[in-house]
Structure formats: C-alpha cells, structure tokens
Amino acid sequence: MATGWFDAAAGLPWHPVTRAALLAAAEDGWADPGRMSGPGRRSAQLLAAARESMAAELGVQPDEVVFTPTGVHALQQAVLGALAGRQRAGRTLVHSAVEHSAVLHAAAWHVARGGAARSVPVDGEARVDPVAFAAAVAEPGVAVAVLQAANHEIGTVQPELDTGPVPLVVDARHSLLYGPVPAHGAILVADARLWGGPDLGVLVIRRGARWRPPFPADESQAGRGLGVPDVPAAVAAAASLRAFRAAALTGDHGPRLGGYLSRLRAELPRRTPDTRALGPEHDRLPHLGTFTSLYVDGEALLSELDRRGFAVSSGSSCTSDTLTPSHVLVAMGAVTSGNVRISLHPEVEDTDVERFLAEFPAAVAAVRAQLPGAATEPQPATDAAARVVDSRGRRCPLPILDLARALPGIAVGAELTVLADDPAAGADIAAWCRLTGQELVSGREESFVVRRVR
C-alpha cells in the first residue's frame, strides 16, 4: 500500500485475503446460486458459508445478512426499505444532519414522493444531542430513525440510542473497523471497501425489523437482493473482514492509530498557523479526523499534498467530484473551505506520520502563498464607522481572507461589511467569526456585517 494513503475512509486496496478468496471462490462460485444444478448448488453453498461467516463476525444471524452491490446501495436499501416496511406507522424519517450523503439523498427522494424528513442538528463537534434526537423521534408520524455510529468525516462517536418502537438504522461502516459492532439498531450497514474487501455493501436486517424492498422486486436473496448475488465478492468480503478485524485486535491497530491521530491533532495546529483539529478529543474513531486551515482552498491543498505524496480528502467524502461544501462541516458550523480529512489504514507507521507532520505545514504555506491578492482596499462607506469589502466574484476561502485582512484596519467596535457571492461564504464567515471571537452582526444573501470585537 502507498505509505502516503491517508484516505482510508475512501477505500483500501484489496487485502491479500480478498484476492485469494476471490480467486478461489470464482472457481466454485461463478454460477447463479439460485440454480438447481451442481454448479448452482456449489455456488449456493459458498454464499451460505459467506453469509454465516459475515454474520458471525458481525454478531448477528445468517438470515439477517443481505449482500448489496455497494455501500451506498446498502444505505439506500436500509433507509428506504425501513420506510416502506413502516408505511402504516407514518411517513416521517428522522436523521442527524451529518449522515452520509446517501442517507440525505434517500431522504430527499422520499420527500419528493410525498414523505417527510426531519434533520436533527449537531453541536460544534458534529455530535447529535440524544435528548433532541429522542424528542424528534417521539413526534407523531415518525416511521424510521437514522443515526450513524460515528461520523465519517469528523470521527465523532454518536450516542447509542434506544428509539423504542421506531426502528433505528445505524451506519456502522467506519465504527466496526476498530471497535465493536453496534449492538443497537434494527438495521445496520457495512461497506467492504473500507476493510480492503471487494466492492460490496452489507445490510443487516435484524429479525423482527419491518423492511420491504423499496425498489422493484427481485427474486434474489429472498427478495432483498438486486440481481444474481456476487458470490465471489461475498466470500471475499467475509473472509477479509475476519482477517482485518483479527489483525486489528492482535496488532492493537485501534490504539496505535488512535495514538497517531492524537499526535496529529496536537501537532498539526501547533506547527501550522490558523489550523485546528475538529471534533472531540475523546469518544471518537481512532483512525479518522478532520483538520481545518483558514485561508486555504481545500482543492489546492489536496493537490499540494498529493504532490508531496499524500492522499487525503476534502469537503464531504462523497462530493469530491462536485466540490460542494461538506454538509457535515456546515452542520457543525465549521469553516468549510480549507479542511482535510485524514483517515489512516492499519499499515501506517510512525515514519509516515512524522513525514506528514513535516510536509503539512509546508503544504499549507505553499497554498497560502499562491492565493490571489486581497480584494480592493476597503472603501469608506457613507457611515464613517463602517467600511465595505467587495469579495464578489472571489471563491472561498478568499472572502474570509479579505475579511481577516481588512478587519484590523477598522477600530474595535466598528463594523465591516463583506459582500460575497460564493455559496459557502455565509457559512464560512459565520464560522470564522466564531473561531476568531469576532461578532457577526448580520448576514443575509450576499452581504455580511462583522463587528470588530478585539
């Protein structure tokens, strides 16, 4: 594995067990397991063995396990299937504001078809308030609740909730890698890409959970699948999960990676100006965290780190194509423009971490040095106590850079108006004011008024 792959949450190379299991299972598991012939039966036996192995590793029953083509598909099936199964109980979906984008897209799809969805906000560490979440779930008409075990960008572990009669979907994709498989929740989702398995999602529908196929019917996997199950992939996913978790336990990977992450959280902000580690210090995933550097464009920082041999991600883990601001960062009120998510894989070593600690400050400095100049000098406004900075047409992070440059030029207690039309500017300016202790007096559309407090 590339030693600079600090983007493990986007997937790992095939585990050696994946490769070996795929090749072996392709010999005897190529046929459709639904066929009544020798090859079909052998394939069915392999699929049953994979399901048993996966169930044992997840601590569930084999008939509770469904293999899906991708993790995204598993999330969609989990949420929409639970809603379909609970149609009589209501049509409202409750979810945290920081779920994976597949959950938010499924919620939007549900709403566009006459359903309802309620997003429960999170605090500045991306953690949901269990009382607020429980209250939202207790509202009339709530059919299904979704709450990840831990956040996939910040690493924040979410509270384990008992949602009573409302079935809870738990996105366990990242938390089960180095920790226990969640014992709560009616439906669980896992993704084999994250442990070096093949492209395959896993859906656990616990006995008693009401679930109905949300998409057109298909006969495979007792009506829960999508076409002929990929038997070699299922075998490889189960075998590699077992190998991954066994190595994680014996190799003490969780605590070791947690140590690396703590060092990164302590050192990156110390070595890099205007840089912070997001999320909580404790109650977090050991291998995954996000850092934010002010006055840096996330895409430029990614490219700079890539040139230095490190792969990280920026923005939402799922929107790197579109580069829209991460909905997770927006929900927690963080600056969205200059963040990097670091996610470590089990083979990361001390030297990789030390090298990253050496390169990151230089990469941030290099990107900052390339930033365009400040906006035109602040112009006196009609009100002598106020000034205007025109950042229109300038992409994030330039508006907060303009703000940071201009604010020292006005008196403490005076106000500065920033005009900015980048879609992320509003969230970024608000987050910048919180971070730096300045006051956002008003902000709407493309005009933001900031009072210098210190």
Residue ranges that bind a copy of itself, judged by CB under 8 A: 2, 5, 7, 10-14, 19, 22-23, 26-27, 30-32, 34-40, 69-73, 76, 80, 101-102, 105-106, 108-109, 113, 193, 198-199, 201, 215-220, 226-228, 230, 233, 299, 302-303, 306, 309-314, 318-322
Find the angle CA(101)-CA(102)-CA(107) to the nearest 5 degrees: 95
Task: Say which residue the tokens 């999330």 belong to.
Answer: 75
Residue placing its CB nearer to a copy of itself in the complex, 108 or 183: 108
Residue placing its CB nearer to a copy of itself in the complex, 329 or 389: 329
CB of 96 to a copy of itself, least distance (A): 18
Residue placing its CB nearer to a copy of itself in the complex, 8 or 94: 8
Residue placing its CB nearer to a copy of itself in the complex, 364 or 431: 364
3-class state of residue 309 by DSSP:
coil
CB of 69 to a copy of itself, least distance (A): 3
Residue 6 identity (one-letter amino acid): F
CB of 244 to a copy of itself, least distance (A): 15
CB of 221 to a copy of itself, least distance (A): 10
Residue placing its CB nearer to a copy of itself in the complex, 27 or 383: 27
The secondary structure of 171-237 as a DSSP string is E-TTTTTTSPPP---SEEEEEGGGGT--S-EEEEE-TT-----SSS---HHHHTSSSS--HHHHHHH
CB of 239 to a copy of itself, least distance (A): 15
CB contact burial 104-141 (16+ within 10 A = b; e otherwise): bebbeebeeeebebebbebeebbbbeeeebbebbeeee
DSSP bridge pairs for 290:
341
CB contact set of 424 (below 8 Å; sequence gap of 6+): 325, 336, 337, 396
Residue placing its CB nearer to a copy of itself in the complex, 11 or 338: 11
CB of 196 to a copy of itself, least distance (A): 9
DSSP annotation of 319 reads -
What six digits make up the tokens of 247?
């190595």
